Amino acid sequence: MAAKDELYAKVTPRRQRQNRPGTVKHGSSLDVLLSMGFPKTRALKALVSTGGRNVQAACDWLFSHVDDPFLDDPLPREYVLYLRPSGPLLHQLSHFWQQSRAMCGKNKAHNIFPHITLCQFFMCADAKVEALCEALQTVVGQWRERFPTPLPLELYTSSNFIGLFVDEKVAEVLKTFATDFAAEAVAKADVHVEPHKKQLHVTLAYHFPTNHLTSLEKLSRSVDISLGCDWLAVLFSRDIRFANHETLRVMYPYIPQNEDELELAPGDFIFMSSMEQGSASEGWVYGTSMSTGLSGLLPENYVSRADECDTWVLHGSHSFLNCTSPTNSGGAIGGPFLDGQLDGRLLDDFGLGDPSSLSVVCQPMQMLRTNSQSRLPKRTLFVCRHGERMDVVFGKHWITQCFDAKGRYMRSNLNMPCSLPARSGGYREYDKDCPITVFGATQARLVGEALFDSHTVVDFVYCSPSLRCVQTAHNILRGLQQDGKTKIRVEPGLFEWTKWVSGTSLPAWIPPTDLAAANYSVDTTYRPHIPISKLTMSESYDTYISRSFQVTREILAECNSLGNTVLIVAHASSLEACTRQMQGLNPQNSKDFVQVVRKIPYLGFCACEEMGETGVWQLVDPPILPLTHGPNHSFNWRETLLQD
């Protein structure tokens, strides 16, 4: 107990200090947590694990970790000091990150945001974190007039590495700054920091396939390294227990069915070690939840790979050009810094109520993309899955509930459409070609209304011949207020993988002329690129992927110079099959493809833009928000479609 009392005594005197910009205000927050009855070790751990943001965040962390077996473990966190770019240079680097990932898939550089490493990872006890943050603030203050601006960078490439290296003489100056921080950390916090001794650089790409070198090299030369930049000294921490674990992001909720299973909540992160997978069966993995600290088995297809730094905690970010530091803390950074989702609460935590001050910290990638690419009209491809289907909601026998012996339709539920189009082959054709529900039509109209509100004009609409896709496209156009103005081109080549069709024959789809007679906005003069006669039952995976790629290319070529925006309404598989090879990526294997398709909900929506002179397309943020309905997760194209 004496050792613990001595540890806490080092924190107590700081409670009386006046809070200054940039300090982690543990003093008053610690007092509040102690007055609530939390033990000091737990209170300190909660404050440090949430970046010292506020008492509420610490309380939420403590309550969620109440069953964490390591809650009282005194093991310290690991810390690292980086220089991070902001402003125009960050703009360029963020764009490079997006393009390289879209064209060549993820490589090791994508695990961490653009940065220059100033020191090795080091450990700091929870009770000393505030003093460590003060040390960084002090040293940055001393260096504001001495920091070299701009930093001269030079591009270097090799067979498996591409980076921007700092000029050798200037690098020595930066290493002196790191040495000063190390000395201040020892003096103020009794923490040993080892300055980085290797060449200082910003890594652009490494550990990538050799056949990607030419593309990555070409992209890297487009980065304008002469642009202005305010380099920020940023201090991050990570849980040392999971330093060598793979980081996964939870996409779907899961309620445990057995005692050894882990409950999952969308947005949480899972730490997974290959060493712990011995007890997991096929399709399951063993991992530990970041939000609860609990471990157990979980279904593999409920999670997706995340970046290493998505779970890191920010403890300080200090500008060398501004007298006031941008922020003192900020919690885990995966969403706010890498996915461009800074909300109002987080802006307040950063002291950035005015959006114009965002340039002081790392600008969100989504904001950068919009600003940089809105100046010139781009060719855009939207791909959307159809709405909620009748046979999934009401079962395969819905037809017997709704049609009498004479084939007359009568709905038996408010979620069933009031009427259905007549079919030349009789109502039994609905067995293989079902309609969407009332909710499905509403979902589609909501998407159209959102596109309308975003001032999006769709020039061409193509859809699969499946009735559910035609109805979805029709209702999207209604929401866009373009029904009757823009005609739907029914393209059989957009039908899903025929291996998934039951029975021995393809569906008997309603002909475009009959659809038009039923008041659907269909182009009856359109001649398909791949007619129905060319589709075969039980086609191979390679055939389906080739067909989807071919028809997408031909659609875009057909619309070139006639309009900038094309909408494809088809199936869950289309979001992957119609966009992956357009980005210059190789198709995934069929097993991984199926896992991606299973994660795409009704009205899952993605957007691609043509990358200028390269002739390659890239996935970008859609102009509309995702649509969450029922128990499905909020669809994130970046997490689902940007796979290696």
What positions carry a catalytic annotation? Answer: 385-386, 571
CA 158 to chain centre: 29
Residues near 458 by Cβ (< 8 Å), separated by ≥ 6?
382, 451, 477, 480, 482, 486, 565, 566, 567
- Residue whose token pair is 């094309």: 566
Of 331, 360, 357, 359, residue with least CA distance to 346: 331
Question: Which run of H or E residues covers position 516?
Answer: helix 512-517
Query: Cα–Cα distance between 544 and 194 in angstroms, integer?
Result: 54
Q: First-to-last CA distance in the chain?
A: 51
Q: Answer yes or no: are the C-beta atoms of 362 and 441 closer than 8 Å.
A: no
Query: Cα–Cα distance between 507 and 466 in angstroms, integer?
Result: 8
CB atoms within 10 A of CB 453: 12
Q: Answer yes or no: are the C-beta atoms of 75 and 241 closer than 8 Å.
A: yes
CB atoms within 10 A of CB 516: 15
Distances (CA, A) of 308 to 13, 274, 313, 617: 36, 15, 12, 27
- Name the packing angle between helices 88-104 and 365-373 (round to 10°): 90
Residues near 356 by Cβ (< 8 Å), separated by ≥ 6?
none
Residues near 440 by Cβ (< 8 Å), separated by ≥ 6?
386, 387, 388, 389, 468, 471, 472, 602
- Please report, for the chain, how many H helices and E strands are present, in that order: 19, 20
DSSP 484: T
Strands 269-272 and 246-250: antiparallel
Classify 210 as helix, strand or coil: helix
| Phi, psi at 78, each rounded to 5° | -95, 140
Q: Answer yes or no: are the C-beta atoms of 543 and 572 closer than 8 Å.
A: no
Percent of the chain as helix, strand, coil, to the nearest 5:
40, 15, 40
CB atoms within 10 A of CB 318: 25
Classify 88 as helix, strand or coil: helix
Say if residue 60 is exposed, middle or buried (CB neighbours under 10 Å; 0-12, 13-18, 19+).
Answer: middle
Residues 190/194/200/201 CA torsion (nearest 10 deg): -80
Residues near 557 by Cβ (< 8 Å), separated by ≥ 6?
none
Q: Answer yes or no: are the C-beta atoms of 368 and 86 closer than 8 Å.
A: no
Query: Cα–Cα distance between 390 and 435 in angstroms, integer?
Result: 6
